[in-house]
Chain A
Amino acid sequence: MSIELDRDGDFITLSMGPHHPATHGVLRLVITTDGEIVTACKPDIGYLHRSIEKIAENLEWNQFAPYTDRVDYVCSMNSNHAWVLAAEALLATSSETKLVVPERAEYIRVIVAELNRISSHLVGVGSMSMDLGAFTPFIHALAQREVINDILEKACGARLTYNYMTIGGVACDLYQGAEDEIRSCLAELEKVMVNFNRLITTNSIFKGRLAGVAVVSPEDALSYGLVGPNLRGSGVDFDLRRDIPYGVYDRFDFNVPLGGAYAGSKGAVGDCYDRFVVRMLEILEAIKIIRQALDQMPPSAGKEDDPVGGWWLSKAAAKALRKPPVGEVYFRTENPRGETGYHIVSDGTKNPYRVKIRTGSFCAVSIFEKLVPGLMIADIVSVIGSFDIVLPEVDR
């Protein structure tokens, strides 16, 4: 935090970031303070802007998939998933280019996406507790994330930026023995979550830092485009996986956890602690979904050339992407950080005409200007942590 030479009476303008460890990347908040109380907050973003949307216009459809990993590197699988589903939705608007995704590929997508959701939430809650001074839970969370990373690495060869899903399927089938490894990982995770809860969730200091801080009303949450766990933390019962299901999500039975003033008498629905608890509960729901997906998943066809769509691109997808339908589509998916939507405009050529990526963190930052004034400086760290902002997703 650096002090800028702008003193006006008792107010001091501070620049929080961009190199602040608690801002989860390079977020700069220009805050005006009156003592310890923040009176104004202007988020300054763009430090990680890589113009991914412009790059998309210069690439072919399938070439863009690796870039979607970089939109949000904490949950690349989910970003991949959003892109391939959006592209498939565009292709499905014409009967000539409609792709049939193999059922096994749909299940593999759900499994890896939910695994990645767990690891993303683990990083989210872990780094949030670290920001607030509790270092140990972060290590526990990262240890579990490492196990998930190992599984995903065996599945596709990369630890963070997977590029595993392709338009029309997934790049390759799951490896031999993946099912057992995933099941034992989940069983282990359940035990760790109990420990994690004892360590931090029920910790009274941690609760005290978060209870009643930065309460977002459901109306504000909707108006400011909060999505995913942040929206549900405010008590709005909306989950795209259940309400507008995509892929095979309609075949699973899971709960949608909502904020409910979990911090007790000092808490309120929509405070920082609720958002934290919703993430913790969502990890357990993701475990349920993965188990059901493993149970329902059809066996591998065993054909090397076309197990789940083929390596990189199936022939049908390659043909369809040479001449996609002219028009546009907006497709929404539920990512760990909420709704990730791709608004795609196609002019019928092998390059997308326009790709707009709508991300959860971008909209979460937009509420800071309204939410932060009135809080203590130290509470800003809890707010950033509770919204689980990932900066590459904000700047794209």
Chain B
Amino acid sequence: MSPFLARNQRQGSALSLEKILEALHECHPETVIGTSPNGARWIQVTSFALLDVARLLKADPRLRFEQLCCLTGVDLQKFPATPERPACDDLVCAYDLHSLVNGHSLLLKVQVPRANPELPSVESVWGVASFFEREIFDLFGVVFKGHHDLRRLLLPPDWVGHPMRKDYVYPRSYGGVELCREGQTFESGPYT
């Protein structure tokens, strides 16, 4: 019987972020803990280690992250620089994970350069990543190597550019339809 079916069979215990990092350090000593000014903490991995770490996070009985709750892309280009975090224009993929068996959650982050954003696909680990990755490919232009069907998901196949990037320039027309009202400009964005 599946171990996460019944609630009273979930014997695992929740690990702190430090303990999770310790478990990861056994094979990937380069992973570190990242923090944001509001106290949010996550584990930062390199793009080379991502797939390995993902497999470990799901399979290791101490960790058992069987749910990929959310996969988010973030463009750091316009994020204000601080002394601790100098300005950079990288893209970030944030993986929100949860373990039913052990009852702990984890935010996993990986940073990729804007010019050549490539990550290994984790759809072999969590099936839902297939859709999440297509969405991020569509909106941020991150290429997921090893994805079985990496196409645009939400936008039409002939759309140009990746709209959720902070330097995205709004198109003036699409498919022969003018997107800009008379006397209006898109320089400050269409919603202002």
| Bound Cα distance from A54 to B5, whole angstroms | 38
Q: Is B68's CB within 8 Å of the partner chain A?
A: yes
Contact in complex: A395, B70 (CB < 8 Å):
no
B120 in the interface (beta carbon within 8 A): no
Which residues of B sit under 8 angstroms from A396, Cβ to Cβ? 154
Beyond A54-B164, A353-B79, whether A237 also contacts B5 by CB under 8 A is yes
Cβ contact within 8 Å between B191 and A58: yes
Report the interface size for chain A: residues with CB under 8 A from the other chain.
53
| Contacting residues, chain B, for A220 (C-beta < 8 A) | 127
A225, B126: Cβ atoms under 8 Å? Answer: yes
14 A-B residue contacts at CB 8 Å? A45-B153, A46-B156, A53-B164, A54-B163, A58-B189, A58-B191, A93-B39, A219-B66, A235-B5, A237-B6, A326-B37, A328-B94, A330-B96, A366-B128
Closest to B80 in A: A347
Contact A236 B4, CB 8 Å, known A223-B127, A327-B39, A370-B127: yes
Complex interface residues of chain B between 1 and 31 (CB less than 8 A to chain A): 2, 4-7
Chain A CB within 8 A of B36 CB: yes
Contacts of B156 in A (CB 8 A): 46
| Residue A348 interfacial (CB < 8 Å) | yes
A192 to B73, CA, bound (A): 45
B40 on the A face (CB < 8 A): yes
The minimal Cβ–Cβ distance linking A238 to chain B, given in whole angstroms, is 6
Q: How far is the CA of A363 from the CA of B127 in the complex (A)?
A: 9
Q: Mark A326-365, 1 if CB is under 8 A from B, else 0.
A: 1111101000000101010111100001101010001101
Residue of B nearest to A341 (CB): B70
Q: Given A46-B156, A353-B78, output 4 extra A-B contacts at Cβ < 8 Å.
A: A224-B128, A362-B131, A365-B131, A367-B127
A67 CB to closest chain B CB, in angstroms? 11
> A55 interface residue, CB < 8 Å from B?
yes
Docked complex Cα distance between A327 and B2 (Å): 37
Indicate whether B47 reaches chain A with its CB closer than 8 angstroms: no
Q: Is A198's CB within 8 Å of the partner chain B?
A: no
Which A residue's beta carbon lies closest to that of B156? A46
- In the assembled complex, B173 has its CB within 8 A of some CB on chain A: no
A325: chain B residues within 8 A (beta carbon) = 37-38
- Looking at A51, A90, A223, the one whose CB has the most chain B CB atoms below 10 A away is A223
- One of A45, A223, A339, A395 near B69 (C-beta < 8 A): A339
Q: Which residues in A have their C-beta under 8 angstroms from that of B149?
A: 42
Q: Is A94 an interface residue (CB 8 A)?
A: yes
| Complex Cα gap A346–B100 (Å) | 28
B169 in the interface (beta carbon within 8 A): no
Q: Are the C-beta atoms of B69 and A348 separated by less than 8 Å? A: no
- The residue in chain B whose Cβ has the minimal distance to the Cβ of A53 is B164
Partner of A343, one of B5, B67, B75, B94: B94
Cβ of B130 within 8 Å of any chain A Cβ, yes or no, is yes
Q: Is the CB of B66 within 8 A of A327?
A: no
Q: Is B180 an interface residue (CB 8 A)?
A: no
A46 to chain B: closest residue by CB: B154
A361-396 CB contact bits vs B (8 Å, 1 = yes)?
011011101100000000000000000000000011
**Are A341 and B7 also in contact (CB < 8 A) when A328-B38, A363-B128 are?**
no
* B interface majority secondary structure: loop
The A274-310 residues at the B interface (CB cut-off 8 A) are none
- Give bound CA distance, A53 to B75, whole Å: 13
Query: How many angstroms between the C-alpha atoms of A370 and B128 in the bound complex?
Result: 11
Is the C-beta of A49 less than 8 angstroms from some C-beta in chain B? yes
Q: Which residues of B contact A395 (CB under 8 A)?
A: 154
Do A354 and B155 have beta carbons less than 8 Å apart? no
Contacts of B96 in A (CB 8 A): 330, 341, 343, 358
A residues near B (Cβ < 8 Å) are 42, 45-46, 49, 51, 53-55, 58-59, 90, 93-94, 217-220, 222-225, 235-238, 243, 325-330, 332, 339, 341, 343, 345-348, 353-354, 356, 358, 362-363, 365-367, 369-370, 395-396
Is B4 in contact with A222, judged by CB distance below 8 angstroms? yes
When the two chains form their complex, are residues B79 and A347 in contact, meaning their CB atoms are under 8 A apart? yes
The contact string, 1 if C-beta is below 8 Å from chain A, for chain B 62-92, is 0000111110111100111000000000000
* B150 adjacent to chain A (CB < 8 Å): no
CA distance A183 to B158 in the complex (A): 53
Nearest-neighbour CB distance to chain A for B14, whole angstroms, equals 11
Residue from A55, A217, A354 in contact with B72 in the complex, judged by beta carbons closer than 8 Å: A354
In the complex the two chains form, is A341's CB within 8 Å of B4's CB?
no
Asked if B107 is an interface residue, CB under 8 A from chain A, the answer is: yes
Say how far A396's CB is from chain B's closest CB, in angstroms: 8
Chain A contacts for B152, CB-based, 8 A:
46
Q: Which residues of B contact A362 (CB under 8 A)?
A: 131
Chain B min CB distance to A60 (Å) = 11
CB interface residues, B 144-170, toward A, < 8 Å? 149, 152-156, 163-164
Distance in angstroms between the alpha carbons of A326 and B82 in the assembled complex: 11
A330 and B153 in contact, given A237-B6, A347-B80 (Cβ under 8 angstroms): no
| Cα-based distance from A354 to B75 in the complex (angstroms) | 8
